[in-house]
Homo-oligomer: A and B are copies of this chain.
Amino acid sequence: MASKKEVIVGVDLGGTSMKALAVDKKNKILAIGKGKTPAGVRPQVLIREIAALVKTAIKDAGCKLKAVEAVSIGAPGPVDVSLGIVREAANLGWKNVPLASDLEALLGVPVVVDNDVNVGTLGEHALGAGEKVRELVGVFVGTGIGGGIITGGKLFAGSNGWAGEVGHTVVLADGPVCSCGRRGHVEGLASRPAMERAVFEAVKAGRKSVVPEILKERGRDHITSSIIKAALARRDPVMQEVLERAQYFLGILVANVVNILDPERVVIGGGIAERLGEEYVGPIRRFAGEYFAHAQAAKRVQIVPGTLGDNAGALGAVVLARKHLNL
């Protein structure tokens, strides 16, 4: 049992679920806590749930609160890191929530907060597919598409902490409407919901697909990474086409980002990348290669899947805490 102050708890706070990892000083995972994010509750109620999840993870790790050096959280929206305030989190209905100070009051340990995709990028950079690279971009594809930028080995925040909003860049002017209401964003073309919409539309238009059958078998009504994988395993032509179109737009996004930032490596993270690996990233790399401003970029920049999978956010939060608190 760890008794010295050497445990950090990293929390990935998502719109539908949350996850807490208790790790030791070598970042070895001691315990994993998971929970549903309660919907439609006041910030204070959700923050109490986060505190309870953190306490459970600490208990499962076989240690006490006094052994915890810090709790660190990736939140789904822009964050004022120095104040520990979540500026906005549409999925949670949050605006200007002082998450760090409120959680500190409940737990009595230092709390650090940053944006979920920023911490995911930090995690992949320090502990995953980004090791030893100083110029890196993380692109996370799931319900949305988010990005994090590492430059000079450090997280790049921009002037307001808003840098890295790659999902809301336009790749197809006047294209389909994104979740944010604007047209032509890559998130509206290549996120998991965008793919789901395209599959359902094809089926509605009379195309044959095994997806409805798989959904029925599993009692689901949403297309998850695992359902995409199952449909591909059965060589479903609709799923193949829809995936390839998403990969095309993601390839363009990656090329745009490479042309603007010239990183050494781009890490593709999120559920689909975790589930499909190279089958997902390979075509993205190939499409991107057709759009580099510098032909040599194709030989230099590395486009790889993340290696931390679903733990990227919580582990990245741990890395964030170490950086901020000099641990």
Measuring CB to CB, which residues of chain A are less than 8 angstroms from any residue of chain B? Answer: 78, 88, 134-135, 147, 149, 151, 156-173, 175, 180, 182, 184, 248-249, 252, 255-257, 259-264, 290-291, 293-294, 296-297, 300
Q: Report B-chain residues with C-beta under 8 Å of the C-beta of A264.
A: 159
A-B contact pairs, 7 of them (CB 8 A): A135-B159, A160-B296, A168-B259, A169-B256, A170-B171, A172-B173, A257-B260
- In contact, A260 and B169 (Cβ under 8 angstroms): yes
Given contacts A135-B158, A173-B248, A182-B291, 12 further A-B contacts (CB under 8 A): A134-B159, A160-B294, A160-B296, A160-B297, A162-B297, A168-B293, A171-B171, A172-B172, A173-B249, A182-B290, A257-B260, A260-B260
Q: How far is the CB of A301 from chain B (nearest CB, A)?
A: 8
Docked complex Cα distance between A157 and B151 (Å): 10
Q: Report B-chain residues with C-beta under 8 Å of the C-beta of A164.
A: 260
Q: How far is the CB of A310 from chain B (nearest CB, A)?
A: 25
Q: How far is the CB of A289 from chain B (nearest CB, A)?
A: 11
- In contact, B165 and A294 (Cβ under 8 angstroms): yes
- In contact, B151 and A260 (Cβ under 8 angstroms): no
Docked complex Cα distance between A91 and B250 (Å): 31
Q: Report B-chain residues with C-beta under 8 Å of the C-beta of A166.
A: 259-260
Q: For residue A77, which residue of chain B has the nearest CB?
A: B294
Q: For residue A161, which residue of chain B has the nearest CB?
A: B262
- In contact, A262 and B293 (Cβ under 8 angstroms): no
Give the 7 A-B CB pairs with smallest separation, nearest first: A158-B262, A168-B293, A165-B293, A165-B259, A169-B256, A163-B262, A162-B262
Q: How far is the CB of A284 from chain B (nearest CB, A)?
A: 14
Docked complex Cα distance between A261 and B148 (Å): 10
Docked complex Cα distance between A252 and B175 (Å): 13
Q: For residue A294, which residue of chain B has the nearest CB?
A: B162
- In contact, A300 and B160 (Cβ under 8 angstroms): yes
Docked complex Cα distance between A165 and B134 (Å): 20
Q: For residue A252, which residue of chain B has the nearest CB?
A: B170
- In contact, B293 and A162 (Cβ under 8 angstroms): yes
Q: For residue A135, which residue of chain B has the nearest CB?
A: B159
Docked complex Cα distance between A158 and B262 (Å): 5
Contact (A260, B165) CB under 8 Å given A170-B252, A173-B172:
yes
User: Which of A134, A257, A260 has the most B CB atoms < 10 Å from its CB?
Assistant: A260
User: Which of A151, A249, A262 has the most B CB atoms < 10 Å from its CB?
Assistant: A262
Docked complex Cα distance between A290 and B171 (Å): 15
Q: How far is the CB of A242 from chain B (nearest CB, A)?
A: 16
Q: Report B-chain residues with C-beta under 8 Å of the C-beta of A294.
A: 78, 88, 160, 162, 165
Q: How far is the CB of A81 from chain B (nearest CB, A)?
A: 13
